[in-house]
Chain A
Amino acid sequence: MAVHQRQTVPQAADRLMPSGAAHHEQVVARQRRGRIWAIVFQAAMLAGIVALCALLLNILNQSFGYVAIVNTIDPAELAVDGVPLNELPKENLVEILEANISAGLMRRYEHDIPFAERSRENVHDLILERVVEPQVQATWGLFDSIFARDSVFAEADERFPGSDVYFRSWLTTSFISKSQSSEPLRAGVRTAIFGSLWVVAITILFSFPIGVGAAIYLEEYAHKERLLNRLIQTNINNLAGVPSIIYGMLGLAIFVRILELFTSGAFLGIGDQSTANGRTIISAGLTLGLLILPLIIINGQEAIRAVPNSLRQAGFGLGATHWQVIWHHVLPSAMPGVLTGTILAVSRAIGETAPLVVVGASTFIALDPSGPFSKFTVLPIQIYQWTSRPQDEFRNLAAAAILVLLILLLSLNASAVLLRNRFDRSRAIA
């Protein structure tokens, strides 16, 4: 700043402008304070970024790394005439299975799918599952596995003699394609992914038309000065700030209990009759729909407000009715904004956990949901349950499931950003 040059100013100005050594020192002190605080502000920003990196690295660290595994029976012992297990033909594999598991279990497998119809891989998997029975003894994080490899092996040798130590990625294709299991090495998120997709589909079907409808009403029809409309507007703003768990309790009381006849599917005679209650996909979807409705309405209102008034006037001028103007001109031009807002709201719904715990997600289901009236679990619930288990290997599973969830959300958000950019560009051209 120009303050330094003040000393050369002629004496006459002294009565107006302070100067001298004391003043100079004061200015220097002020500037020093300014520099220190500038560093503090930057440090705060940096700390925020560090927190984000720590969060992501922590999840990566837990998703990959060495595991120590002990097999009940060494696969090498199962080799027939020197041919290792994974090269044996199907007939040998069935014999091995028969020799090692109880007759009852064998009959159950035969009952599920006859062995004659099973593929070689399927029988091989059964052997690994029931005969070899690998058990996770310990797991290590990614960073330990990379930077302290020797100590990992030393520790494994010392604590778990005879264990197999190998590098394992917890996020694999079979993790995505397999359903829930109590055995960490075989557990997957397939059921949870399907559950999430079903719930989100219901949420969108419910909240998108109603949210956009409400936004149109508030922006295009409502007289702002009327008390009722002001009430609706204030109410929507307040609903956006209600904690999500309250919506869960609303869903529990209304959809699960009072509307049980409908949400359990009993009124159609379908659904799971053995456990016929309202804790179904449709209850969860409607609850999340109510939760994101205010977000969709607020975003939709902003998008509709941004449509230039000249467009409406042109429509009215040509004799279009109010609805024709909205349907043919306002909505198409507001749609990219509305969709962006909806995608952001939906990604919030996908990550939401607390209301679904309250509505009553199932703790353990291995069957894919078959429709809106099935019991459900979703990805965040699965993560919550695995995180709550004390064993380390379930934490690894939770980390892998978090990666799946984050990738899903990231692709959704990326599509929202793309949509917004495309919209901006087309507007710039027009």
Chain B
Amino acid sequence: MSRSAPIAQAAISAESMQGPVAGAESTSESVLGGGPPLDLSRKPRVAESLIQGFLFLCGAISILTTLGIVYVLGRESLLFFANEEVNLLKFFGGTEWQPAIGRFGIWPLVTATFMASLIAMAVALPMGLCIAIYLSEYAPQRTRSVLKPILEVLAGIPTVVYGYFALTFMTPLLRGIFGRDIVEIYNTASAGIVIGILVIPLVSSMSEDALSAVPNALRQASYGLGATRLETAVRIVLPAALSGVAAAFIVAISRAIGETMIVAIAAGAGPNFTFSPFRAAETMTGHIVRISGGDLSYDSIDYNSIFAIGLLLFLLTLSLNVLSQWIVRRFREEYE
């Protein structure tokens, strides 16, 4: 068999990579292997279409998952709000969450969630950003190759282990510092700090990616003008990577709001409308876990209420994630 011209003609360009080869049919008489000319492009390929259909279904499952989440949360929440004891005004206006006696104010759960997230962000954002700047601008290559896997280990530890850490290490530490009378055994401060530690790797790795993507020419220009390393990092590189860093921050907030096991173990059981970080308070996620961990009968008001909380949680985190993607798209600095 010789390398004949038709094969060379049949080679396709990178642009037409999608789908079966167009123009692969032989035009000359000297068809490979002899015989009459065949138009293979018209040949029905049932198996190929079946496979493509199956692969499309695989991709479509992700859409089905989203639809499932929206349907399930929406349906049960509607059942919850259809209850005559509940209405939106009470839900967003009340400061007491006691489904057993008909109090459905979401605020105690929301304030606890935001308090824990706020504390977590107070820990994670400065630490994560400092680590990112250190890794991207200061650390030598060798140090970086040792330190980055350590952060990956931190990111790979299951959250239930962090919860254990919060309860058996952070809480006694806080009680030792501030006094046992002030700090309760279960408190949002300890949970918040540990959530902060949990999201540090997320913030630092996303921010570091953004910082490293800034072209070196910018740094060299800055050094050439006599700027110090700090000035280059903070005034040149950081502003250039700001969209990526901001996106990292927002993803971290969303992660902190959705974090469950740490608050379920360390932040306390029972909704509590308080602004003191040293008191026990239950977050939205903690409440869902506690209620569903007990004996839960379907279509009870408890069962429906956790889906209403879940819907709120889903909308919160989804809008934060969408916001972060939008920031990256809208404010990204493009460099050649």
CB-contacts of A50-100 with B (<8 A): 51-52, 54-55, 58-59, 62
Which residues of chain B have C-beta atoms less than 8 A from A126's C-beta?
A: none
Q: Is B228 interfacial (CB-CB < 8 Å)?
A: yes
A354 lies within 8 A of B264 (CB): yes
Q: Given A33-B230, A313-B12, A387-B163, A245–B62 Cβ distance below 8 Å?
A: no
A24 at the interface (CB under 8 A from B): no
Once bound together, how far apart are the Cα atoms of A71 and B32, in whole Å? 89
Least CB separation from A2: chain B residue: B226
Does any Cβ of B come within 8 Å of A138's Cβ?
no
Residues 336-350 of A, flagged 1 when their CB comes within 8 A of B and 0 if not, give 000000001001101
A347-B156, A402-B161 known; A249 vs B73 contact (CB < 8 Å): yes
- The answer to whether A290 has its CB under 8 Å from any CB of chain B is yes
Q: Given that A31-B228, A309-B17 are known contacts, is A235 also in contact with B169, CB under 8 Å in the complex?
A: no
Say if the beta carbon of B251 comes within 8 Å of chain A.
yes
Contact A313 B229 (CB under 8 A): no
Instruction: State the Cβ distance, A391 to closest chain B Cβ, in Å.
Output: 13
B47 in contact with A323 (CB, 8 Å) = yes
Task: Report if A142 contacts B (CB, 8 A).
Answer: no
Evaluate contact between A232 and B60: CB separation under 8 angstroms.
yes
Q: A409: CB under 8 A from chain B?
A: yes
- C-beta contact mask, A239-270 vs B, less than 8 Å → 1, else 0? 10111111111101110010000000000000
- CB of A73, distance to nearest CB on chain B (Å): 33
**Residues in A whose Cβ lies below 8 Å from that of B134:** 41-42, 44-45
Min Cβ gap A289→B in Å is: 10
Contact indicator per residue, chain B 143-177, by CB within 8 Å of chain A (1) or not (0): 00001001101101111111111011100000000
Contacts A213-B58, A238-B318 given: A38-B306 contact, CB under 8 Å? no
A358 to chain B, nearest CB (A): 4
Interface of A is mostly: helix
The residues of A that contact B306 with a CB separation of less than 8 Å are 249
Complex Cα–Cα for A395 and B259 (A): 22
Q: Assess whether B289 is interfacial by the CB under 8 Å rule.
A: yes
A344 to B: closest C-beta gap in Å: 8
A317 touches B158 (CB 8 A): no
A37 within 8 A of B: yes
| A250:B258 contact, CB within 8 angstroms | no
Q: For B18, what are the chain A residues with a Cβ–Cβ distance below 8 Å?
A: 221, 223
Closest approach, in angstroms, between the C-beta of B256 and any C-beta of chain A? 10
- Segment at the interface with A among B19-27, B90-98, B100-108: B19-27
Determine if B261 is an interface residue (Cβ-Cβ < 8 Å).
yes
In the complex, whether B288 has a CB less than 8 A from a CB of chain A is yes
Give the nearest-CB partner of B9 in chain A: A317
> Which residues 48-66 of B sit at the A interface, judged by CB distance below 8 A?
48, 51-52, 54-63, 65-66
Given A317-B11, A351-B160, check contact A242 B260 (CB 8 Å).
Answer: no
Q: A41-B133, A48-B131, A317-B10 are in contact. Are A243 and B55 (CB under 8 A)?
A: no
The reply to whether the CB of B281 lies closer than 8 angstroms to some CB of chain A is no
Q: Tell me the residues in window 288-303 of chain A with beta carbons closer than 8 Å to chain B beta carbons.
A: 290, 293-294, 297
- B163, B228, B306, most chain A CB atoms within 10 A: B228
Q: How far is the CA of A45 from the CA of B151 in the complex (A)?
A: 9
- Cα A229 to Cα B260 in complex, Å, equals 32
Min CB gap B8→A, angstroms: 8
Q: Contacts of A395 on B, CB cut-off 8 Å? A: 164, 168
Is A244 within 8 A of B55, CB to CB?
A: no
Residues on A with C-beta less than 8 A from B161 are 55, 59, 351, 383, 402, 405-406
Please tell me if B179 contacts chain A, counting CB pairs below 8 Å: no
Stretch among B214-222, B270-278, B307-315 lining the A interface: B307-315
Chain B residue contacts of A399, Cβ below 8 A:
164, 168
User: How distant is A265 from chain B, measured CB to nearest CB, in Å?
Assistant: 19
Check A248 against B292 for contact (C-beta < 8 Å).
yes
Among A222, A246, A247, A405, residue most surrounded by chain B Cβ atoms (within 10 Å): A246
Q: What's the Cα separation between A173 and B251 when bound, in Å?
A: 42
Which residues of chain B from 290 to 324 have any CB-CB distance to chain A below 8 Å in the complex?
Answer: 292-293, 298, 306-307, 310, 313-314, 317-318, 321-322
Q: A242-B317, A317-B11 are in contact. Are A353 and B261 (CB under 8 A)?
A: yes
- Report chain B residues within 8 Å CB of A332: none
1/0 per residue B117-153: CB within 8 Å of A?
0000000001100110111001100000001001101
Complex Cα–Cα for A94 and B24 (A): 84
- Give Cα A97 to B65, complex, Å: 57
Question: By CB atoms of chain A within 10 A, which of B17, B160, B169 has the most?
Answer: B160
Contacting residue for B69 out of A232, A250, A413, CB 8 A: A250
Within A181-222, the residues touching B (CB, 8 Å) are 209-211, 213-214, 216-218, 221-222
The reply on A360 being an interface residue by CB < 8 A is yes
For the complex, what is the distance from the CA of A361 to the CA of B264, rounded to whole Å? 16
Contact for B130 among A34, A41, A223, A387, CB less than 8 A: A41
* Interface residue? B200 (CB, 8 A): yes
Q: Does A174 contact B (CB under 8 A)?
A: no
A273 within 8 A of B: no
Tell which of A58, A235, A360 touches B66, judged by Cβ atoms closer than 8 Å.
A235
Chain A residues with Cβ below 8 Å from B197 are 48, 51, 55
**A38, B233: Cα distance in complex, Å:** 11
A55–B157 contact, CB under 8 A? yes
Since A43-B130, A249-B306, A354-B159 are in contact, a sample of 11 more A-B pairs with Cβ atoms closer than 8 Å, ordered by chain A residue number, is A41-B130, A45-B147, A48-B200, A214-B55, A216-B58, A248-B292, A249-B73, A249-B288, A313-B11, A317-B12, A354-B289
Question: What 7 pairs across the A-B complex have the smallest Cβ distances?
Answer: A243-B258, A351-B158, A213-B58, A44-B130, A41-B134, A354-B260, A217-B55
Interface residues of A (CB under 8 A from B): 1, 3, 30-31, 33-34, 37-38, 40-45, 47-49, 51-52, 54-55, 58-59, 62, 209-211, 213-214, 216-218, 221-223, 229, 231-232, 235-239, 241-250, 252-254, 257, 290, 293-294, 297, 309, 312-313, 316-319, 321-323, 344, 347-348, 350-354, 357-358, 360, 363, 380, 383-384, 387-388, 395, 398-399, 402, 405-406, 409, 413
